[in-house]
Amino acid sequence: MVFGMEKLPLSVAIITLNEEGNLSRALKSVAFASQVVVVDSGSRDRTIEIAQEAGCEIYERKWPGGFGAQKQFALDQCRQQWILLLDADECIPPETADRIREICLAPVGEVVGYRFPRKNFFQGRWIRHAGWWPDRVLRLFRKGKGRMTLATVHEAVWVEGKVVDLPTPIEHYTESDLSRIVEKINRYSSLGAEEALREGRTSTEMGAFFRAAAAFFHNYFLRLGFLDGYPGLTLAVTDAVNKFFKYAKLSQMARKKNA
């Protein structure tokens, strides 16, 4: 944290796993917070060291099997009047920091949560199509008024009370290295398949193929992903590949379960 800076009645919650390439940027952007909670699930790089140097409260916790549960644990450690949930590959730009400061220092009112538009950057480009902008996310809320949905993937904050949309963004620097994207697809598709299996959903390999093809066509053509150039093409392909493996894995898991 930056010493001498006025601290707000704000807790920031971040979960991490091997985020040495992102975490410093995220922490510098929230230096105004009184408390920063980092929950790590077994990093093998400098993630913990970076968090320690920044003065964060660090909790090392075994991965519980889903993002919702891990983020809820992080929220449970927050003590300030307001909570900001941030991913390690996100950051708060100065104009958004100013708005957060105004909210945290204002008298308590009826609004208990705030949504931000999220600017997603991929391979150095701000992605504006295929649903990537404004990509609104609810991340700032009053303590005691918000909880995580316990979804394995695609988790979100659920808030009890009035929520307002803000014009200032959160910036998200999504993974651009293709080798790590492949690893991420493998992890996320497995989590998604496990969740779908628990919900009683079914699929086939051919169904997985058609879902993937439909996802590519929808994102790249109907939602104008082609306007984002080669990064837009890469994102459309990776989303389609993720869809294919999620539902192909679901088919495989269902067969093993019923064998």
Provide the 8-state DSSP code for 228.
G
Looking at the DSSP bridge assignments, the partners of residue 121 are: 126, 173
Contact of 113 with 144, CB cutoff 8 Å: no
Q: Grade residue 259 by pLDDT with cuts at 50, 70 and 90.
A: confident
First to last CA, the chain: 54
Task: Give the C-alpha distances (Å, rounded to integers) separating 258 from 205, 208, 250, 251.
Answer: 16, 19, 12, 11
Structure tokens belonging to residue 110: 């009826």
**Prediction pTM value:** 0.94
pLDDT in tens, 240-258: 999 999 999 999 999 999 9
Phi-psi region of 36 (alpha: psi -120 to 50; beta: other; left: phi over 0): beta
Structure tokens belonging to residue 56: 């964060």
pLDDT in tens, 99-135: 999 999 999 999 999 999 999 999 999 999 999 999 9
Q: Which three-class secondary structure state does DSSP give residue 238?
A: helix
Q: Grade residue 6 by pLDDT with cuts at 50, 70 and 90.
A: confident
Q: Which fold has domain 8-173?
A: Spore Coat Polysaccharide Biosynthesis Protein SpsA; Chain A (3.90.550)
Q: Grade residue 2 by pLDDT with cuts at 50, 70 and 90.
A: very low
Return d(Cα 199, Cα 194) in angstroms, integer: 9
Residue of 66, 4, 29, 53 whose CA lies nearest to 191: 66
pLDDT in tens, 49-95: 999 999 999 999 999 999 999 999 999 999 999 999 999 999 999 99
Strand 111-116 versus strand 162-165 pairing type = parallel
pLDDT in tens, 160-217: 999 999 999 999 999 999 999 999 999 999 999 999 999 999 999 999 999 999 999 9
